[in-house]
Amino acid sequence: MCSMRSTFVLLCVCVSLSLFHHTKSQSPPEGDSLTECTDGYEWDVGSQHCKDINECQTTVEACQGEMKCFNHYGGYLCLPHSASVITAPEPSRQSVAILPVESNEAFSPCPVGYDAQGEGCVDMDECVLDLHDCQPSQQCVNTVGTYSCQCPDGYSKIGIECVDIDECRYRYCQHHCVNIPGSFSCECEPGFQLAGNNRSCVDVNECEMGVPCQQKCYNTYGTFLCRCEPGYKLGPDGHSCNDVDECSYSSYMCQFQCVNDPGRFSCICPEGYQLQGTRLCQDVNECETDIDQCGEGQTCINIHGGYQCTDSNRCREPYVLTRTLLSDNRCVCPVIKPECRDLPFSIVHRYMSITSERSVPSDIFQIQATRVYPGVYNTFRIRSGDHNGEFYIRQMNNFSAVLVLDRAVTGPIEYTLDLEMVSVNPLISYQTSSALRLSVFVGPYTF
């Protein structure tokens, strides 16, 4: 009760702002019809709890004089009519600290949730004092005059329990979401890594991270590709580079011989030939490069893959060497010699070289008469040397013919053919002949 002296009116007003009695809801013992409540409370059958008695209504002339009655929990206040009372909010069943009050308990001027200190009321931290009824899964949060039970971040309240929230159902992650108690984490597909926001995924440049590509690496979205230099092919593991044996692809890679090298190939040519470009072989003219070893009195004849040294004077008895403007290697059989009667009057020596396996029929040499006389008919034939019928003569006209290779020949081999031109003048019964001794060298290769 507040004193009626005016000097205490302000104090009574201040106290009335938060004056409560600590109360305890009491239930009757099982099987006991008698109930017992703290002073100022009575048993409520409907709620089965003790409820406050409104003394201002049940007590006759509870306050006298100029005082006004203000009901409060477990008692009442008598204050001047000019005073006003701000009633503290009724504590919830969850947040009210339920303490037993003995009949001789000292009166507390502060409401539930406050402790009296000095001349004022200070908020009581129920969470620190363990005066709360929060579930183990909940967090106690102290508030002014009371407390609240809250769920930690990542949990939601279902009933009285805190249940983990499955954040993954909200699609917070770009790739994969992993729910964990109270939170979640994001994971990325291989080839990606978490961005700074820990939710998005950004491409990883594997080529800058020491990937096992043996030669070339190309970064792509979410992965990478290994590539090889020309002359190599990617191995089954997708990383290593194996040499490509270009020589095994075709027999036409090189004209003569293909040599495989790491990452490339090269062509080589046989002796007597030199590489033309990268694949073809060309005969070396030893007679023009002064690498032949022909001696004095000999003439160097270039052939495919080599050369021949022949005597400058190839005339044999009964022929003698004559030099004319038309030929410096003409052998003549003088008519005064009896043994020349059945021989060609003259023989001219010529040389040529052809490749092996040449396509047939093939024109290889042309015979041309140096002089044509009126009334003279000329015929051409192979006088000797064609033992196996590899050649024949095709006459073009009265003064020329062509030597034709009729069968494919494989070198190295040498043919010496006497090609004869027979001249006849029927008007004067004149006949003579001349021969061209042709040495045909067939090279060992097709080039």
Give yes or no for residue 254 having a pLDDT over 50: yes
Classify domain 206-243 at the CATH topology level. Answer: Laminin (2.10.25)
* pLDDT, position 35: 60
Bridge partners for 205 per DSSP: none
Under CATH, what is the fold of the domain 314-442? Immunoglobulin-like (2.60.40)
Q: What is the pLDDT of residues 22-43, one digit of tens each?
A: 333 444 444 444 467 888 888 8
Q: In what order do the strands lie in the sheet with 400-405?
A: 362-368, 400-405, 391-395
| φ and ψ of 208, to 5 deg | -95, 5
CA torsion 8-11-12-17 (nearest 10°) is 170
Q: What is the rounded distance in angstroms from the CA atom of residue 148 to the CA atom of residue 157? A: 13
Is the pLDDT at 48 greater than 70? The verdict is yes
**pLDDT, the chain, mean:** 85
C-alpha pair distances (Å), 164 with each of 141, 172, 180, 225: 19, 16, 8, 43
Residue 191: name the closest of 236, 146, 235, 221 by CA.
Answer: 221
pLDDT at 408 exceeding the cut of 90: yes
Predicted confidence (pLDDT) per residue in 92-118, tens digit: 443 334 444 444 445 567 888 888 887
Q: Where does the pLDDT of residue 205 fall: very low under 50, low under 70, confident under 90, or very high at 90 and above? A: very high
Q: Rounded CA gap, 430 and 426, in Å?
A: 6
CATH 2.10.25.10 is held by the domain 167-203? yes
Mean pLDDT of 82-101: 49
Tens-digit pLDDT profile for residues 281-338:
999 999 998 888 999 989 999 999 999 999 988 899 999 998 765 556 789 999 899 9
Which pTM does this prediction carry? 0.55
Asked if the domains at 206-243 and 314-442 fall in one CATH topology, the answer is no
CA of residue 65 relative to chain centroid, distance: 98
Per-residue pLDDT tens over the stretch 183-203: 999 999 999 999 999 999 999
Task: Answer for the pair 12, 2: CB distance below 8 angstroms, yes or no.
Answer: yes
Per-residue model confidence (pLDDT) at position 325: 58
Look up residue 25 and give its two tokens: 């809801």
Domain layout of the chain by residue ranges: 6-121, 167-203, 206-243, 314-442
pLDDT bin (cut points 50, 70, 90) of residue 51 is confident
